[in-house]
Amino acid sequence: MKRLPPSTRPDVPLELWIVLARAFDAVERHSRASIARFGLGTTEFGVLEVLYHKGELPVCEVQRRILVESSSTTYVVDKLCDRGLVRRRPSGADRRVTLLALTAAGRRLVQRIFPPHADAMRRAAGEGCSPAQVLRKTRMITLRQRRPHIPFGHGCQPRYRRHRADGTPAGGPSVRRSLLVGTALLAPAALSGQAPRKSQHGSVMQTVGTTTVTVVYNRPSAQGRRLFGDLVPYGKVWCPGADSATTVAFSRDVRVAGEPLPAGTYSLWMIPERDDGWTVIFSRASNVFHIPYPEGQDKLRVKLKPQTGSFMETLGFYFPVVAPDSVVLNFHWGDTVVPIPIAVTP
């Protein structure tokens, strides 16, 4: 086999480093979005998680253990204490040492939010992978952590190779290639910038008087699937979009279906019903993934009556009616249309 000259050979160790960095960045984005839906910052969540799993600890030990490096840990602890989630007390062995522990309210909060956060992280790291693939890539990265002194390019060829019955090598991927593949599987979203989105990104904006209404969302397609009552179950909270949660932003205070809603950016959620009106939810948790639903963050819920319209293959939002002091925002997918009436101050 003809060997490539050194200048044209792929730089596999560098490629591995890039894949690792992209994988970490992708999982980190999922983590930040998952934590934000509970109204917490990453450092706040890190402090609560460490105290929940490790018990009472000195402040310096909490700073060492949290996954998010931050020079503002003391400020974060002050905020958590003010919210009644964490308590301080001086150490009996050394009065110079301050110990931190969760309050009963803090423990209840972690017990409520940690399971859905862990599920979101499992999806980020393992979506599209079989259990065997997840186990294999975990072992690969664990081995790398235990042998940090070994260069990336060392030992990439197996020491022993199996042979076929005729004595010829049995081929198969090298350890280096296996590590690349396993690491790339760590977070499929890490390579999302290199492949087209399945659900295309979209946005729509309308100015009404002095108020601007902006919807930002991703657009899944029906692709022959039965939508409501099958793909989207009745009676369960659902985000009308894909990937990141759909958001609706209002530059000024408005009224939605007659109910007041302050200016701001909200994530949009719906509860489809077979025979009753649909519930439309505006959530304060705006920078979140489309699953799971951020409980406890609702700002407004309204009941609206769906209509039947012409078939629309790709989910969409649009403004069919615009007046000087009001606008109708339509949600439309398949033959289902949900008009959302919005009144503004002229």
Query: Mapping DSSP to helix (H, G, I), strand (E, B) and coil, where does residue 311 land?
Result: strand
Would you say residue 24 lies in a domain?
A: no
Q: What is the pLDDT of residue 131?
A: 59
Pair 239, 317 in one domain: yes
Pair 253, 221 in one domain: yes
Dist. CA 316–CA 220, nearest whole Å: 9
Pair 224, 338 in one domain: yes
- Counting the structural domains of the chain, the total is 3
Which residues touch 61 (CB under 8 Å, ≥6 apart)?
Answer: none
Pair 263, 207 in one domain: yes
Q: What is the pLDDT of residues 289-316, one digit of tens each?
A: 888 888 889 999 999 999 999 999 999 9
Would you say residue 67 lies in a domain?
A: yes
Would you say residue 321 lies in a domain?
A: yes
* CA quadruple 3, 7, 10, 14: dihedral sign: positive
Query: Mapping DSSP to helix (H, G, I), strand (E, B) and coil, where does residue 212 land?
Result: strand
Q: What is the pLDDT of residues 22-52, one digit of tens each?
A: 766 766 776 777 677 677 777 888 888 889 8
Transcribe 239-265 into DSSP letters. -SSSSBPPEEEESS-EEETTEEE-SEE
Query: What residues are paired with 302 via a beta bridge?
Result: 280
Whose tokens are 């899944």? That residue is 220
Decide which of 76, 96, 126 is a domain's last residue: 126
Decide which of 126, 144, 173 is a domain's last residue: 126
Pair 319, 221 in one domain: yes
Q: Answer for the pair 243, 258: CB distance below 8 angstroms, yes or no.
A: no
10 Å Cβ neighbour count for 160? 5
The CATH number covering residue 56 comes to 1.10.10.10
Pair 165, 272 in one domain: no
Pair 269, 310 in one domain: yes
Task: Give Cα separations from 273 to 20, 86, 160, 227 (angstroms).
Answer: 44, 41, 61, 12
Would you say residue 30 lies in a domain?
A: no
Would you say residue 138 lies in a domain?
A: yes
Q: What is the pLDDT of residue 313?
A: 96
Would you say residue 231 lies in a domain?
A: yes
Which residues touch 331 (CB under 8 Å, ≥6 apart)?
Answer: 240, 270, 315, 316, 317, 337, 338, 340
Pair 262, 335 in one domain: yes
Q: Answer for the pair 57, 99: CB distance below 8 angstroms, yes or no.
A: yes
Would you say residue 78 lies in a domain?
A: yes
Would you say residue 29 lies in a domain?
A: no
Task: Give Cα separations from 265 to 100, 230, 234 (angstroms).
Answer: 35, 30, 26
| E runs forming strands in the chain | 57-58, 86-90, 98-102, 200-208, 211-219, 247-250, 254-256, 259-261, 264-271, 278-283, 298-304, 307-323, 326-343
Which residues touch 171 (CB under 8 Å, ≥6 apart)?
Answer: none
Pair 211, 327 in one domain: yes
Pair 139, 221 in one domain: no
Decide which of 110, 126, 142 is a domain's last residue: 126
Pair 224, 235 in one domain: yes
Pair 56, 175 in one domain: no
Range of the domain at 81: 37-126
Write out residues in the chain with pLDDT < 70, as ranges: 1-13, 16-17, 19, 23-24, 26-27, 30, 34, 37, 67-72, 120, 122-197, 346
